[in-house]
Amino acid sequence: MTLQFDRLEQLPDIARRLLHTYADERFFAFFGNMGVGKTTLIKEICHQLGVSDNVCSPTFAIINQYALPNGDPMYHFDFYRLKNADEAYDIGYEEYFYSGNYCFTEWTEKIEQLLPDHYLRIDIVEKNGQRTLTATVIEH
């Protein structure tokens, strides 16, 4: 799936389309430069899922946990501050990645070799104010 957008007002529709098209996916790996809108889109996806917690970037905490309306946890990671993938072992990434709960990762390229065999890769590229989102199911 490829979508283009240039306004924040378009994010609710984009989030709904992603959740509808990839309804069975639970692991969303986001890729894109700083400031491209990864966190903003994750906030909107969480909103569409009914999360009432304050969704914010876990840049310093590395992981934030939110609750879905049914009480199930969901996890939001920001790996920007990791120096190498080995640091992900210190936070017990496997427990989260293989939980079957929603996981959203930012700066995924820093831990790409640790990703599950099956996930939804979301690339966001910005050029002249226009953003292009490409979603691809990855299976190894």
Q: What range defines the domain where residue 12 resides?
A: 2-139
- pLDDT at position 48: 95
Tell me the average pLDDT across 72-81: 94
Q: How do residues 25-74 score in pLDDT, each as one tens digit? A: 999 999 999 989 899 999 999 999 999 888 888 877 899 999 999 999 99
* H helix intervals, 33-98: 38-48, 86-90, 93-97
Q: Is residue 7 predicted with pLDDT exceeding 90? A: no
Does the global pTM surpass 0.85?
Answer: yes
Total domain count for the chain?
1
Tens-digit pLDDT profile for residues 89-135: 888 999 999 999 999 999 999 999 999 999 999 999 999 989 999 99
- Domain of 39, CATH number, reads 3.40.50.300
Q: Which of 119, 122, 92 is nearest to 107 (CA)?
A: 122
